[in-house]
Chain A
Amino acid sequence: MTATPDTGQRRRTSDSRPVITDLIDEDTILAVAGDAWISLVGEDEVLVPIPGDLPFDVVSSWVDVVGPWTGSVVLTTGRATAEALSRALLRESAPEVLEDEDVEDAFGEIANVVGGSIKAALPGPSALSLPQVGHAPLVRNPADVCRVEVLWRGEPLTLSVQGALPPLPVSH
């Protein structure tokens, strides 16, 4: 019987995990978000892939994906744009006065729908969390982020698909 030397290869292979850019690209995120926008926000509503400067007062909504890749799908925009988005989503169902709760709920639902579509493009099975609204989760690993900047009705909005785990230690 010949003993196989332990080169550490098997351990290193099993320890590796994909980063989001191995799994999805900016064009796919843009296509997924564009489809969601047309269905949710309106047939004439387009996302233009042009970067813009976010205002100081921003809000984020996101859902977490847990599976072979674990992270969050995060939408970030100015509060006024989030309110406009909520009105567009609700259309004739929008109340005259939109409360903060209405905006959080609608903006969260947009993240839920976009996140569900992104999850479908990732290897599964994966679980999707309930949407959350507030300050975006921190980026734990800058290499595990795929980010798209767009304009909606001329206002900046970012879509970030970002890993929840810190980088693996570098083996020597």
Chain B
Amino acid sequence: MRALVIDDSRAMRRIVTGILTNLGYEVRDAGHGREGLDVLDEGWVPDLATIDWNMPVMDGLQFVSAVRSNPAWRRMTMMMVTSESEHTQIVRALAAGAHEYMIKPFTADAFRDKLALLGLLPQEVAL
């Protein structure tokens, strides 16, 4: 399975990449939404994208909207991973097309539980 990690913090990209790699994912990362779209434009469409909200150049909500406007990327699951925790923000993200919402800070176990809920744990890990 493939995952695209989009976050302007290198530290957070490393942490999320580490969790996903340990679960067996092939991971690429991007520092903002525009870079994320560039990866998709190359034809590297992941099963999962984890997306920060507040980023320079293109924020997470703009990225989600851009992905949703392209039918070729429809099968990709999008999970916001952000410190924005107001209810209205969560509703906005889900309305824009995000599938799941993870509030920072989180633990590796909480991250894994979210993936299990989404049916996105690689088979050998889920067993």
Contact = CB atoms under 8 A, between A and B. Distances in A.
Between B9, B10, B83, the greatest number of chain A beta carbons within 10 A of the residue's beta carbon is seen for: B83
B11 A92 contact: no
Given A90-B15, A92-B18, A93-B14, A116 B106 contact: no
* Interface SS of chain A: helix
B17 interface: yes
B12 A39 contact: no
B42 interface: no
Contacts of B84: 116, 128
A101 B82 CA distance: 21
B83 A128 contact: yes
Interface string A121-162: 000111011110000000000000000000000000000000
A129 B54 contact: yes
Nearest to A131: B9
A46 interface: no
Interface residues of B, number: 23
Interface string A103-129: 001101100110111011000111011
A90 B17 CA distance: 11
Interface string B44-75: 00000000001110000000000000000000
Interface in A23-37: 35-36
Given A35-B105, A93-B17, A102 B10 contact: yes
Contact of B9 (A36, A38, A105, A129): A105
B88 interface: yes
B83 A113 contact: yes
Interface of A: 35-36, 38-40, 86, 89-94, 101-102, 105-106, 108-109, 112-113, 115-117, 119-120, 124-126, 128-131
Given A92-B18, A105-B9, 4 more contacts: A106-B11, A113-B105, A116-B85, A120-B86
27 contacts: A36-B105, A39-B105, A39-B107, A40-B105, A90-B14, A91-B18, A92-B18, A93-B17, A94-B14, A101-B10, A102-B11, A105-B10, A105-B11, A109-B9, A112-B9, A112-B54, A113-B104, A116-B82, A116-B85, A116-B104, A117-B83, A117-B105, A120-B85, A124-B86, A124-B88, A130-B54, A130-B55
